[in-house]
Amino acid sequence: MTLWRRAVRTPSLWAIIVLVIVVLVLFGARRLPDVAASVGKSLKIFKSEIKDLTADDDAPAAAPTASQTPGSHATAARGEHRTP
């Protein structure tokens, strides 16, 4: 068996049990549900942001028309009208 295969093998039952015990000792039984909930919320937010980014990449940007000048969007949004 090569060194790489020994290093990347699946963990045994004892390794998983030791890992669970270490996590319980570090975080405590009371804080463990809070930690899991905050990790879940963070993953949910991360997934939604990734979905928004991929949706933004798929949607083409609207090209401004010749009648629109730079800065006219801001004044129109405030209700102000420019006179030439």
Q: What domain range is 39 assigned to?
A: 29-56
82: Cβ contacts below 8 Å, ≥ 6 apart: 72, 75
Residue 5 lies in a domain: no
| Phi, psi angle pair for 9, to nearest 5° | -65, 165
Residue 84 lies in a domain: no
pLDDT in the model for residue 63: 53
pLDDT in the model for residue 67: 57
Residue 40 lies in a domain: yes
Residue 45 lies in a domain: yes
pLDDT in the model for residue 49: 93
pLDDT in the model for residue 10: 77
Whether the CB-CB separation of 44 and 35 falls below 8 Å is answered with no
Residue 16 lies in a domain: no
pLDDT in the model for residue 46: 95
Residue 19 lies in a domain: no
Number of compact structural domains in the chain: 1
pLDDT in the model for residue 30: 86
Residue 42 lies in a domain: yes
**Residues of the chain falling short of pLDDT 70:** 1-8, 58-84
Residue 10 lies in a domain: no
The predicted model scores a pTM of 0.42
